[in-house]
């Protein structure tokens, strides 16, 4: 603009208007840099979305009577309603092992039948001296009630 001082006011206005119009037509950012920026934003958004995915996949650790137990419940034989729930290493805490087996049994019945109602054969209310306990496992058994 400083080189417009030597022009007449009319020519200076015309050249200023032409420069302004040219600047208005010129893109502020090139299309290639817009594509790069868009790709980068998409990549960042995808990474942020995937970052949260792993947290939900971790196994929740349940404690019973202050101890953790490896336990499972499975249908026994052809009758899916009948199950056996087993807990490893019940010597850590018999009460905790019973609670862990009951927890697995309830999860099993809810998963298969949508209810936590159980008819226990050998269950958490069974006297401890009548439970099926070996040195390395405790077993409860019962039948899931069907709705």
d(CA 137, CA 135): 6
Determine if the pTM surpasses 0.75: no
pLDDT at 142: 93
d(CA 83, CA 144): 8
More confident residue, 125 or 61: 125
d(CA 59, CA 56): 8
What digits encode the pLDDT tens for the residues 17-38?
Answer: 666 666 556 566 677 777 777 7
pLDDT at 83: 93
What digits encode the pLDDT tens for the residues 98-137?
Answer: 999 999 999 999 998 899 999 999 999 999 888 888 878 9
pLDDT at 99: 93
Burial bucket for residue 82 (CB in 10 Å: 0-12, 13-18, 19+): middle
């Amino acid at each position: 603009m400083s080189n417009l001082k030597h022009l007449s006011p009319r020519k200076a206005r015309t050249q200023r208007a032409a420069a302004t119009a040219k600047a208005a037509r010129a893109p502020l950012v090139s299309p290639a840099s817009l594509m790069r920026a868009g790709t980068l934003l998409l990549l960042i958004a995808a990474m942020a979305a995937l970052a949260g995915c792993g947290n939900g996949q971790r196994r929740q650790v349940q404690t019973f009577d202050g101890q953790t137990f490896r336990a499972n419940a499975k249908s026994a034989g052809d009758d899916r309603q009948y199950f056996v729930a087993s807990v490893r290493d019940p010597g850590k805490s018999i009460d905790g092992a019973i609670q862990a087996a009951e927890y697995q049994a309830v999860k099993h019945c809810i998963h298969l039948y949508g209810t936590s109602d159980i008819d226990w054969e050998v269950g958490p209310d069974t006297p401890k001296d009548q439970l099926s306990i070996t040195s390395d496992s405790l077993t409860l058994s019962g039948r899931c009630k069907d709705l």
